[in-house]
Amino acid sequence: MTTTAGVNTASATPLPTATTESVRPPAGENRAGWFFVAPFLALYVLFLIGPVLIGLVISFFNTTTVRAGLGDWVGISNYTSVLRNSDFWASIWHSVLFTLLTTPLLIALPLLFAILASRLTRNRWFFRLAFFAPYVVPSSAVCLIFAFMYTPETGLITNAFGWVGLPAPNFLGSEWGAWFAVVLLTLWWTFGFNFILYTAAIQDISEEVYEAASIDGASPWQQIRSITVPLLAPTTGLILLLQVLASLKVFDQIYILLAGGPDQKTRPALQYIFDTGFTSYRGGYAAAATMVYFLLLVAISAGWYLVRRRQQNSVIG
């Protein structure tokens, strides 16, 4: 109420000279500022900060997910049992393994193809369409299609192995077959996102650099290796971070296609939280697992941020 009034008074005041570099902003402008900030800030505190605090509190109680209420204070026992649980560490390892399998592919291939596409002048829309269209498809539709293509005997991908003379692995029934299946699906599904990021970054490189290089007689390959790739290093750093974070948060594909199987050999961290929290209803325990996982993800972002800041400082200094 008062904030809305603040906007009206702001309009009534003659004119707060914006040019004067006053430390204290005019009262009307101050109130208007908070009026514009308030809705976002309220939602941000409620639904972004709120869950973090609630998770932190619950992790010290034996809350169950079926009933309302906190339950009893149990101290750090949820944390000790999470950290001692081998299933938890196995699920963290699966998320890390998925990240190790997907990240190199999802950086090298989009980089390569974005560079190749940048050398062409015609039909760029076609490549953008083909590579990026999968990214807007819901994960479950992707999984339906790939599950069909992975079917033993009738599946297209199963048969494609036969055409090149390789024995097709049991895609959904064996551990490494399952990893292959889910990595290939992820590559197809999310390739376009990094492709677009690289394409945009390549367009920002000045044409003159290439012209100078080709006058000096540099071959296309030399140009790519000693101009494009080095100049894309900051972009690669950013894509690396986004990709690592996205891969560590994997859930959809593994849950829908494999249900974490076979025999929970691919169950990722997020599904472990899902299972303990919503199948076994151990809310407090799952909250402790959430907090450990949360710290891991935040530590990676913060670490990347600090490293980048130090690099920038050393460039300037």
Name the token pair of 248: 């560590």
Of 252, 254, 266, 268, which one interacts with another protein (CB under 8 A)?
Answer: 252
Geometric angle at alpha carbon 223, from 221 and 224, rounded to 5°: 65
Report the C-alpha dihedral over residues 90, 91, 92, 93, rounded to 10 degrees. 50
The residue among 75 and 153 lying less far from another protein, judged by its C-beta, is: 153
Binding mask 212-241 for another protein (x = CB under 8 A): --xx-xxxxx-------------x--xx--
CA–CA separation, 42 and 37 (whole Å): 9
Of 89, 161, 180, 251, which one interacts with another protein (CB under 8 A)?
Answer: 251
CA–CA separation, 31 and 5 (whole Å): 9
Bridge partner residues of 73 (DSSP) = 61
CA–CA separation, 243 and 237 (whole Å): 10
In order, the DSSP letters of 54-91 are HHHHHTTBT--SSSSS---B-TTHHHHHHHH-HHHHHH
Smallest distance from another protein to CB 48, Å:
5
Which residues in 188-207 contact another protein (CB under 8 A)? Answer: 188, 191, 193, 196-197, 199-201
When asked if residue 293 is in the footprint of another protein (CB under 8 A), the reply is yes
- Identify whether the C-beta of residue 60 lies closer than 8 Å to the C-beta of residue 70: no
Bridge partner residues of 61 (DSSP) = 73
Smallest distance from another protein to CB 97, Å:
18
Name the token pair of 195: 């492709």
**Binding-site residue total for another protein (CB under 8 A)?**
112
Which residues in 109-138 contact another protein (CB under 8 A)? Answer: 113, 116-117, 119-120, 125-134, 136-138
Q: Which window, 78-86, 100-108, 266-274, 308-316, contacts another protein (CB under 8 A)?
A: 266-274
Closest by CA position to 98, among listed 255, 306, 299: 255
Closest by CA position to 182, among listed 243, 256, 254: 254
Which residues in 10-29 contact another protein (CB under 8 A)? Answer: 10-11, 15, 18, 24-26, 29
Q: Which window, 8-16, 71-79, 99-107, 173-181, contacts another protein (CB under 8 A)?
A: 8-16
Of 92, 106, 149, 181, which one interacts with another protein (CB under 8 A)?
Answer: 149
Which residues in 38-57 contact another protein (CB under 8 A)? Answer: 39-41, 43-44, 46-48, 50-52, 54-55
The residue among 30 and 81 lying less far from another protein, judged by its C-beta, is: 30
Binding mask 157-186 for another protein (x = CB under 8 A): --x---------------------------
